[in-house]
Amino acid sequence: MVREIVHDPMFLQRKSEDATQADLQTAQDLLDTLRANFDRCVGMAANMIGVAKRIIAINDNGKYLVMFNPEIISKFGEFETEEGCLSLDGERKTVRYKTIKVKYFNENFKQIKRSFSDFTAQIIQHEIDHCNGILI
């Protein structure tokens, strides 16, 4: 189900809780909402649709990917950039890493470790920040 985007900074600055298999419907709603906003958004965290659980969905060059409880386990290639956010107005400066290795659970709650680079890595870093209550 496509949900409304949350803009309330007080809510968005709260740290999200660990997700479980009971949150699969939230992940589906997150995917539906991301797809509905494909023209202006490449990633979303569950708190952006009002659910403070650690779930993110990204559009990885047209392939949609959901991660439960994602964690960055290594990173390198620091750079400064500017980003926008569907929940905020305008673009803001931030620091990101070119390559990251992420540990997460997939929809079957199988643990995955995978490396990402460039724009996809940047999207994931932005969405993991959302899980931690960090806004750019």
70-89 residues in contact with Zn ion (CB under 5 A) are 85
Question: Is residue 7 annotated as involved in ligand binding?
Answer: no
* Strands (E) located in the chain: 43-45, 55-60, 63-84, 91-105, 111-117
Q: Count the site residues for Zn ion by CB under 5 A.
A: 1
List the one residue out of 94, 37, 26 whose CA is nearest residue 66.
26
SS3 at position 120: helix
Residue type, 13: Q
Contact between 102 and Zn ion (CB under 5 A)? no
Question: Is residue 41 annotated as involved in ligand binding?
Answer: no
Active-site residue, 91 included: no
Cβ-based nearer residue to Zn ion, 51 or 85: 85
Least Cβ distance, residue 48 to Zn ion (angstroms) = 7
Binding residues (CB under 5 A) for Zn ion: these are 85
Just list the catalytic residues: 127
Q: From the annotation, which residues make up the binding site for Fe cation?
A: 85, 126, 130
